[in-house]
Amino acid sequence: MRDKIMRPTRFAAAIGFAIAAASAQAGECTYTVQNSWNTGFVASIKITNDDTTAIDGWEVNWNYGNNVISNSWNANLAGAYTATNLSWNAVIQPGQSIEFGFQGTLNGDVVETPIVTGSVCTSNPDPDPDPDPDPDPDPDPDPDPDPDPDPDPMGKFRVNAQGNITKDGEEMPIQCGNWFGLEGRHEPSNDVTNPSGAPMELYVGNTFWANGSAGTGRTIQQTMNEIKGMGMNVIRFPIAPQTLNPNDPQGKAPFLKNHSSVRSNNAREAMEDFIKLADQNDLQVIIDIHSCSNYLGWRAGRLDARPPFVDVTRTDYDFLREDYSCSATNNPDSVKHIQAYDKEKWLDDLREIAGLSELLGVSNILGIDVFNEPWDYSWGEWKDLTTEAYAAINEVNPNVLIFVEGISDSYDNQDGTPDDIGNSPHGDPDTTPNWGENFYEFAANPLDIPKERLVISPHTYGPSVFVQPMFMDPAQPECEGLKGHEAGAAKCNIVIDKDRLVPGWEEHFGYLRDQGYAVIMGEFGGNMDWPNKASLGDQKLWKGHITPGVDQDWQIAFTDYMVEKDIDGCYWGMNPESGDTGGWYGHAYDPISNTAGWGEWLDFDQRKTNLLNKIWGQ
């Protein structure tokens, strides 16, 4: 919470955030006080393997006289005090380090620096017993929501007074695309290997069956070279909680589609290797928790989502997932698989992601998008959750930005009665926001996150993703108010009128840019040829009475608005496997004529390149 994060005392500054270290045959254990204030502290323990053989499993111990730990991350904590490895950080290779952290209370005015013991750190020199013989008896109680003990960290991201992003004090444009895949995809229910599975794999454009099983030869480095050459400097990188688990079977063979030459051992390894390679290529990364489950994906809407899910009656739709839930309770009879998720697990995941900069030794993690499209929360609920998200991230890494998406126009109260729907104000009722677009209530009830750390990150799309009521043709009064598949079934025409759309964008998020907030579209884009090359269900509903090009009209109108408002954004998607939007890269796949072309990338779509060049000022 913000009121618990205080300005460091002069005593804490004077001891230089003291370190107690212990070297050993297997490694070195270092206890570091990262920050302290008049009632509490944040500290970490780093284990460095300086031996020639790998450490496989570790346990360390330490003790306090008066200090007490209230929460921890990246380790299992028991007793007073013993920490053991998690599954993903058990092995420490020679020359590598892992680090775990914790927050605690002082129970007095002394920040303790205990000796760390354990089988991986057997030699224990005494810490300085009195680093400051004259501590400040009257520490400064002023609140400081952004403690920053390191005056010159590398990879320190901030929002300046103009609402623009800076890295290490230098303003940088956000020329961004989404590179998705590790959050999980839906395998068809008739898939031979993994029916209705949800494999987590970074799309590379090089599948194992391409070119007679020789693959296409494409690598991640090749793609990074190409997108950098086109001007991209930031990648939004969606993951799921399960991505963080190297042992999740859906992140491993035999469920992976990539060619063996570019295949990772597991989803966690793919994530870490990608972030490190992006850092080497000076590409910044926004890590996005895209769902509570790799099985539910974008449709979740909340941390503990459960059926019934949206679009269960969608035409020719295989992605129903009525048998999966992220809720531990109140599930309908359809649920057979529970991946229970809740606020505490989410906050732990945010801390773990915040620790990746230190763990991987990178300086390119620009921000954390705390949860994708939280459409199933009221504004008050979402504000409370984001306040806790900021505090959890800031405990571990005060140098990253907090990306927050908006809500929607309504929400299910999730009390076991699916029809109990609440309405969220969004201004003019005729301009319906997309999931993640609605920041209307921010004006009267702003988020409790410092402006220099906050990025407003709405999502908005045109008809290829969802047909909104404001797309209906005024010449068809019978279609007024219709949306989605009901509009398709009624053979409604679609007309993109920028003058009709801009007032909604202004009410939902644009006004915040005028107030100096950083506004970065987390997702925008679409299928230029829709309803051609769309899902079979969309083709049945729309092909024949809709002339292809209406989504291109929408994208032109929206990118014009972005330029007018000086709003940057992350195009969805950069890679082309998204069924409703396609990608910046072309796709050999066609759902009718070339299903074997799935995962084979073609050249950049020049129409999309033109849009990106427009908003990037190229």
Q: What is the pLDDT of residues 446-457, one digit of tens each?
A: 999 999 999 999
Among candidates 159, 157, 345, 379, which has minimal Cα distance to 241? 345
Residues 6+ apart with CB under 8 A from 213: none
Share of residues in the chain with pLDDT > 70 (%) = 89
Residue positions annotated with a catalytic role: 373, 523
Residues 6+ apart with CB under 8 A from 134: none
Q: What pLDDT score was predicted for residue 599?
A: 95
Average pLDDT over residues 395-405: 97
Q: What pLDDT score was predicted for residue 8?
A: 26
Condensed to tens digits (0 to 9), the pLDDT of residues 56-115 reads 999 999 998 889 887 787 888 887 799 999 877 888 888 888 888 887 888 876 899 999
Q: What pLDDT score was predicted for residue 420?
A: 62
Cα dihedral 211, 213, 219, 223, rounded to 10, equals 40
* Residue 373 Cα distances to 117, 288, 305, 517, angstroms: 44, 11, 12, 19
Condensed to tens digits (0 to 9), the pLDDT of residues 531-557 reads 998 989 999 999 999 999 999 999 999
Chain position carrying tokens 């079977």: 249
Condensed to tens digits (0 to 9), the pLDDT of residues 268-317 reads 999 999 999 999 999 999 999 999 999 999 889 999 999 998 877 777 78
> Which residue type sits at 108?
G
Q: What pLDDT score was predicted for residue 334?
A: 94
Higher-confidence residue: 197 or 35? 197
Preceding omega of 145 cis (within 30 degrees of 0): no
Q: What pLDDT score was predicted for residue 319?
A: 83
Average the pLDDT over each of 121-135, 364-378, 405-419, 423-437 and give the range with the smallest value. 121-135
Average pLDDT over residues 376-385: 97
Residue 17 clears pLDDT 60, i.e. is over it = no
* Residue 487 Cα distances to 169, 317, 546, angstroms: 49, 17, 12
Phi first, then psi: give them for residue 90, nearest 5 degrees.
-70, -35
Structure tokens at 60: 């360390």
**What average pLDDT is seen over the chain?**
88
Q: What pLDDT score was predicted for residue 122?
A: 66
Reported confidence tier of residue 421, pLDDT bands at 50, 70, 90: confident
Q: What pLDDT score was predicted for residue 381?
A: 96
Structure tokens at 550: 């209406």
Q: What pLDDT score was predicted for residue 268?
A: 98
Average pLDDT over residues 3-17: 27
The dihedral built from the CA positions of residue 472, 477, 483 and 487, taken in this order, carries a sign that is negative
Contact yes or no for 73/101 (Cβ under 8 A): yes
Q: What pLDDT score was predicted for residue 413?
A: 64
Average pLDDT over residues 1-22: 29
Q: Considering only CA atoms, give the Rg of the chain.
A: 25
Average the pLDDT over each of 109-123, 315-329, 422-436, 585-599 and give the range with the smallest value. 109-123
Residue 41 clears pLDDT 90, i.e. is over it = no
Q: What pLDDT score was predicted for residue 141?
A: 41
Q: Output the pTM of the full model.
A: 0.78
Reported confidence tier of residue 136, pLDDT bands at 50, 70, 90: very low
SS3 helix, strand, coil % of the chain, rounded to 5?
A: 25, 20, 55
Residue 417 clears pLDDT 60, i.e. is over it = no
Average pLDDT over residues 225-250: 98
Residue 260 backbone zone (phi > 0: left; psi -120 to 50: alpha; other: beta): alpha
Among candidates 88, 60, 61, 86, which has minimal Cα distance to 75? 86
